Structure 1
């Protein structure tokens, strides 16, 4: 090798380089050359090639585009499902020492998924303004209905956080509206303390101009939200109508009743969700029926969505 290279681990250990391979990487219509190092690595480590930095690539995830020097390459990966917005609350009473940072356990309101990746952001009415407590923006994994949230006490005395006290929002674009709650309510995204440090100051504008621009943004945002919600509502109705029974059932017709029952220790896949056959006794209205399993059984009043036509089994012909 003309040049001497060496690989270093995170703790400073040196790994000898045995060789270098010049690999060709083709993206779209462009071809790039990248050095690949050959070495004996026996530990579990994370390897990577700094191709994007060396070749001045720009990865635009919202637009799903990889920009090179010569072209823009469309990335064909599925759109990421938007996370819902829920309030994060403290799961127990916690005391934060003065000028200290702690990681505490929190719970999420109205969450049904057991394990999920979430983004934690401070509330709009951040506790920093009231108690001097700062909630860190965190990407974390919620397990067993709990998650870890990083908080800092900026005061010179201990601070108390009570159980159930809201400390943050899980913030993301709402799937139905296509907007974040902050943009709908305030006409702008929330700014975190780190944004005040890293972002460039925006151009000052007069009060009248600010109010005019804010009104325009809110009107445009609300119009977009209403249109998006109409589209989502029509989409949900279309999906529902595909499986809806518009004809209904006649009196005396045999039907199955959807009535799932779960037995402990038995897989739901192996348990019956439908029972019957039932007989339609009365049609109370377009979607509600009174059914009965047999003349001696108690009648049930059920919605049409829980019913499906019953077909008599065909006799086994030719079987001895």
Structure 2
């Protein structure tokens, strides 16, 4: 918990907060949250959600308060609620999940980010063309589980590190192709791809980068701000891949202290250096209200001046599922 500031009557020290922009919600997260909220509005509670809709406790808890019920597997839905809507998370799911939902005549809404769906389609295309697929990503992450689950077991091989790329042994004589998780470090992924391309010059790359625009833009903003500040706070969840990557990017870009916090109550005041300039960013699943909460916490201790450092404009939005589209337009 955050400690209570001591009000001694002394003037508060000045603090220049540099807000990274873009930050926070991406189009895929915004769409996923909207799907749950509109489903609750149209169909009433409960609306079931398989896995966290996005990796953010604040978002999940606020949806729970509105009537969303979060589950890990479909068999947790009681037979008495089999006609209730179930939403698949933004990270994507293996093909076996919608197949199971159809077999039980469930009404489901797929909130998979369209950029994740693009990677799924790439994997299927490579498989149809007889290629062995390398997926660059983090083992156990829901997006990786969902992508590997689009194809038969063994069709997709996971590479997590440069060392994995150096020691990768193809399973046979098939041509190779690589795809990636959408929320990776741009620089780490580039290093892995360089090794794979050097070892396998004919390996097929994606037509367009799989790492999503929002991940790339947020990392670029952090790279611009990190060398200018005494510390960087990344607002996001510990299980959020893109938020963890932002923390790492800040460190590598020269920021002396880079810390991931979920909200203001998690700020480790004792671990912060003397501050003149503070950078703040937010992962793609962190709502802006949490950024504002953190700035307010610093304003209790410092005379805060906030400046925005913008490195890209974002205008992308994604269509809602047809079952909810008309409602959103009303």
Fold agreement, TM-score > 0.5: no
> What TM-score, normalized to structure 2?
0.19
Structure of larger gyration radius: 1
> Larger % of helix: which?
2
> What TM-score, normalized to structure 1?
0.19
